[in-house]
Structure formats: structure tokens, C-alpha cells
């Protein structure tokens, strides 16, 4: 299990997550309001978030993220980034 800490509107929501779960799904399952206008298909960037800590515990950036211009840290699409392994991950949602 990984620990994902969502930072949003001055609050922190701490969640447990399984390997393979997407950041977007972890957020929504735990009541964290992450936008997802394209339904989690990697075409809108409304789920864009900042990885403040633990990027190494996430899957590598994929083609959809790079096609949307997210080619460098700390930016990720919540609907594309998946938990890769155990560890602590801090995500900031600014939308
Ligand atoms: S929900 Fe649209 S890019 Fe992630």
C-alpha cells in the first residue's frame, strides 16, 4: 500500500492506495475534488496536479501526458499517473 496525501484548499486528505491505482481515482474515492472534464482519458488537463513528493513512486509519464505538454516535473495528469509501488506521495491540487 502507498500513502497519498492530497493538498487542496489548505487541507490535507491522507489516503491509502494500491499499486496500479490512478491518482484521479484515489482522489475521487476519498472525496477529494479533482476535476476530470474528459472523463479521465488524458485529453483535457483539468486533472493536472503537482507532485510535491514521491514522484519516484508513480508510473512514468506517458504519451498522453506528453501530448498535453506535461513533459517535466512536477506536473502530472491525475488520470494518467498511477501508483507504482509502496511509498509516500504528496499531491497538490490547484484547480
Ligand atoms: S481528466 Fe482529462 S486529462 Fe485527466
Q: How many angstroms separate the Cα of 2 from the Cα of each of 14, 16, 20, 58, 87?
A: 10, 6, 10, 10, 5
Nearby residues of 43 by Cβ (< 8 Å), 6 or more positions away: 64, 68
- 2-92: CATH architecture: Roll (3.10)
Termini Cα distance of the chain: 27
> pLDDT tens digits, residue range 9-34?
999 999 999 999 999 999 999 999 99
Q: Which atom of ligand 1 is nearest to the CA of 36?
A: 1
Residue with CA at minimum distance from ligand 1 atom 3: 42
pLDDT, average across residues 56-69: 97
User: What pLDDT sits at residue 94?
Assistant: 84
CB of 77 sitting under 6 A from ligand 1:
yes
Q: How far is the CA of 47 from the centre of ligand 1 (A)?
A: 5
Q: Is 95's pLDDT higher than 70?
A: no
Instruction: Please check whether residue 23 is in contact with residue 75, taking contact to mean a CB–CB distance below 8 angstroms.
Output: no
What pTM was computed for the model? 0.96
| Grid cell in block for residue 1 | 500500500
**How far away, in angstroms, is 29 Cα from ligand 1 center?**
16
Amino acid at each position: 500500500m502507498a500513502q497519498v496525501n492530497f493538498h487542496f484548499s489548505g487541507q490535507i486528505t491522507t489516503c491509502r492506495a494500491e499499486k496500479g491505482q490512478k491518482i484521479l481515482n484515489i482522489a475521487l474515492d476519498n472525496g477529494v475534488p479533482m476535476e476530470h472534464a474528459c472523463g479521465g482519458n488524458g485529453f483535457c488537463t483539468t486533472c493536472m496536479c503537482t507532485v510535491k513528493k514521491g514522484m519516484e513512486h508513480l508510473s512514468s509519464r506517458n504519451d498522453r501526458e506528453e501530448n498535453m505538454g506535461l513533459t517535466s516535473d512536477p506536473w502530472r495528469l491525475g488520470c494518467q499517473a498511477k501508483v507504482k509501488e509502496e511509498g509516500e506521495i504528496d499531491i497538490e491540487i490547484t484547480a
